């Protein structure tokens, strides 16, 4: 049994359908119930159970965990912290709410969903004979959680926080037999740029070599199955991240000029 947050569109939607097609029961979480209903009707084998709600609300989290107790006998194999939002524009011109909202959804919600899921993932490890794979926590980060760019400071802060916390958690949970995977997509052709927080309508995100969400979902599932510690997706994403690791000063100058 799996939980995918942010399942109503983009990467989360594609991953939910993919998991369902591979005989995994998925608890799909998002605010737009009509979108989740459409996924339930498309999903293979009736494998998707919708939970409508905000990931920052404790009631939504409790409802999802209760479904694991009810339908999965208290055993969870996979938690995907995917729900995410962004915002574009200079930090100094933004309301403080932009930082708070982005951190709440992209970082704090992921930590609280994980805290609630750990006992259920641990129960999965205790029933070795009944499970087919290692339980996994998969956090959907971003290449901007490895290399920070201007005009997306709040988003970068949230994804850097997610990255650091993920690395720490991986070390903590390895002795419990729980794998922690960080997937860092680059620009993805989803609805992400239609719901930016505290952002002028004329702000545009420049990007090259974007991927469709189903490609990101396939790579994510491959990383989960292989229990990879970290994957950075797309050629453009790798160029940004590894360019920054190899020549950080040069990259800072180039980004400042952009
Ligand atoms: N698109 C990109 O270029 C890109 C690049 C790198 C990383 N990512 C990351 O990939 C993840 C998925 O994004 P996407 O590209 O697939 O964007 P998307 O199509 O906008 O999907 C975002 C999902 O998150 C859900 N969501 C947002 N706020 C929520 C909240 N408060 N409570 C519950 N659900 C919430 C949305 O559902 P509802 O609106 O129905 O609640 C939606 O299902 C995010 O973490 C994002 O940061 C995206």
Residue 212 is encoded by which pair of tokens?
Answer: 């469709």
The catalytic residue among 14, 24, 101, 155 is 155
CA of 256 to the centre of ligand 1 (A): 27
Which is the closest atom of ligand 1 to the Cα of 140? 45
- 131 falls in which pLDDT band (50, 70, 90)? low
Cross-strand pairs, 48: 26
Neighbours of 155 (CB within 10 A): 26
Cross-strand pairs, 49: 27
Given phi > 0 = left and psi -120 to 50 = alpha, else beta, which region is 46? left
Residue 14 has pLDDT above 70, yes or no: yes
In the prediction, which pLDDT does 258 show?
A: 74
Residue 222 has pLDDT above 60, yes or no: yes
Which is the closest atom of ligand 1 to the Cα of 155? 47
According to CATH, the topology of domain 2-257 is: Rossmann fold (3.40.50)
Give the span between the Cα atoms of 84 and 57, in whole angstroms: 14
Question: Is 155 a residue of the active site?
Answer: yes
Condensed to tens digits (0 to 9), the pLDDT of residues 20-77 reads 999 999 999 999 999 999 999 999 889 999 999 999 999 999 999 999 999 989 999 9
Q: Domain locations in the chain?
A: 2-257
Residue 159 is encoded by which pair of tokens?
Answer: 């994804």
Nearest to 166 by CA among 135, 134, 140, 133: 140
Residues with CB under 6 A from ligand 1: 6-12, 30-32, 35, 54-56, 82-85, 105, 140, 142, 185, 187-188, 190-192, 195, 213
């Amino acid at each position: 049994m799996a939980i995918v947050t942010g399942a109503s569109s983009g990467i989360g939607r594609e991953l939910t359908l993919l998991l369902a097609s591979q005989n995994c029961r998925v608890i799909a979480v998002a605010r737009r119930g009509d979108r989740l209903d459409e996924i339930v009707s498309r999903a293979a084998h009736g494998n998707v159970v919708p939970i409508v709600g905000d990931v920052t609300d404790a009631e939504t989290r409790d409802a999802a965990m209760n479904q694991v107790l009810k339908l999965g006998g208290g055993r969870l194999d996979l938690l995907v912290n995917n729900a995410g939002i962004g915002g574009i524009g200079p930090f100094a011109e933004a309301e403080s709410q932009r930082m708070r909202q982005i951190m709440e959804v992209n970082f704090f919600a992921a930590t609280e969903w994980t805290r609630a899921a750990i006992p259920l993932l641990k129960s999965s490890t205790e029933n070795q004979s009944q499970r087919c794979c290692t339980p996994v926590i998969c956090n959907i980060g971003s290449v901007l959680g490895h290399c920070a760019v201007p005009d997306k400071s709040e988003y970068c802060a949230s994804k850097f926080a997610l990255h650091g916390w993920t690395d720490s958690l991986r070390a903590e949970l390895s002795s419990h037999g729980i794998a922690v995977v960080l997937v860092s997509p680059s620009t993805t052709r989803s609805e992400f740029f239609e719901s930016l927080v505290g952002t002028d309508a004329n702000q545009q995100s420049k990007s090259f070599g974007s991927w469709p969400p189903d490609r990101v979902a396939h790579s994510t599932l491959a990383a989960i199955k292989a229990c990879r510690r970290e994957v950075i997706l797309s050629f453009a994403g790798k160029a940004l991240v590894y360019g920054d690791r190899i020549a950080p000063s040069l990259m800072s100058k180039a980004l400042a000029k952009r």
